[in-house]
Amino acid sequence: MIKLIDILTVAGAQLNSYKIHCATSKEDPPLQAFFEGRFKAWQEYQTQQNFKCDEIISLIQLKEDHWLFVGIYQVLGVKHRKHGDKSWYEYGTKPFPGLDHLVGRVIVQFRKRFSAAYLIGPKYIDKLLVAGIRDKRMVVSDFTGYNSVNISFRILRTLVRKNIPQWKDALSNVGGIYLITDTHTGKMFVGSTGTGESIWHQWVSFAINGHAEIRPLRRLLSHEEGDYQFNFQFSILEICDLNSSRDYVLGREEHWKQALLSHVFGYNEK
C-alpha cells in the first residue's frame, strides 16, 4: 500500500518537527466539526500543550483503523488562557497550502492500539497507509454506516431540512434502538422505534421540535432556556427489521437502558 507521507511529499509538503493528531471526541466529535467547517478552531483548543511542534498532520477517526486526512496545519504560536478555575491553551495555526485536493478525500489505514492521540510524527508516519482516495471530499451528506452514526442536533436538522437522500434512504429502511446524549450534562436517553416505524421517521420528529413528544425530553426542554436541544447528540445502538415485533424491540431497548444505566443516571423514566 502507498504511504500517506509519499502522497504528501508529492503534493509539496515539507515537514520539520511534526506531530500526528488522531482526533477523536465523544462530547464534540471532530468529524462534525469538519462537516461544519470549524475543525481548525476545534483543534486549536487544547487542555494541554499538545502541539510543541512545527506542523500537525490531522486525522479524524471514521471507524477502527480507518481515519480521514483533514490537512496539515502549521503551528504559529500558543497562548495560555485562564478563566476562574478553568485553564486551556489556544493555538494559532494555518492550513498548509496546496493540499486542498487531498483534504477530506484520503482515507488512512492506521492500527492504533493505544489511547495517546498526539503522536511523535517520525515514529509513526510510515504506519499511515492509504486505504483509498474518495472521488469527492467527504461531506455531511455521506452516510458512513449505521455503526458510525454520531451526529449533533444541528446536523440532524440539516439532514432533515435538506431531505438528504443517502441518510433518508438508509434510516428509512430500519427500525431500532437509538441513543440521545446530552453533551452538556452527559445524561443519556435510550429510545426505540414503534412497529413499522423507521429511525428516520422518529428522528424527523426530533428535528422538528427537539423532543419528539417524548415526555422527559419535552419536560427538560421546557425547563431550560434557549435552544437546549442543540446539546443533543444522536447515535444508533442497534438496528432492527421494520417488521420486528414490538415486544422484541422493547426488550432490546430495556437491555440498553440497563447497560447504560439511563434509568438511574439519564433521562429514561423508571
> Tell me: the pLDDT tens digits for 166-209?
999 999 999 999 999 999 999 999 999 998 899 999 999 999 99
Question: Is the pLDDT assigned to residue 110 strictly greater than 90?
Answer: yes
**CA 222 from centre of chain:** 27
Average pLDDT (122-130) is 97
Is the distance from CB of 53 to CB of 171 less than 8 angstroms?
no
Question: Is the pLDDT assigned to residue 27 strictly greater than 80?
Answer: no
| Beta carbons within 8 Å of 31's beta carbon, 6+ residues apart | 60, 61, 62, 68, 150
Same domain, 125 and 83: yes
Q: What is the pLDDT of residue 6?
A: 97
Same domain, 151 and 74: no
Same domain, 168 and 109: no
Q: Last residue of a domain, which of 76, 111, 133? A: 133
> Quick one: pLDDT band at residue 63, thresholds 50, 70, 90?
confident
Is residue 139 a part of any domain in this protein? no
| pTM of full prediction above 0.85 | no
- The domain that contains 193 carries what CATH number? 3.40.1440.10
Same domain, 60 and 9: yes
Is residue 105 a part of any domain in this protein? yes
Is the distance from CB of 62 to CB of 98 less than 8 angstroms?
no
CB atoms within 10 A of CB 184: 12
Residue-range definition of the domain harbouring residue 110: 4-133
Helices and strands (H and E) in the chain: how many: 10, 12
Same domain, 47 and 103: yes
Work out how many domains the chain is built from and give that number. 2
How far is it, in rounded angstroms, from Cα 143 to Cα 150?
11
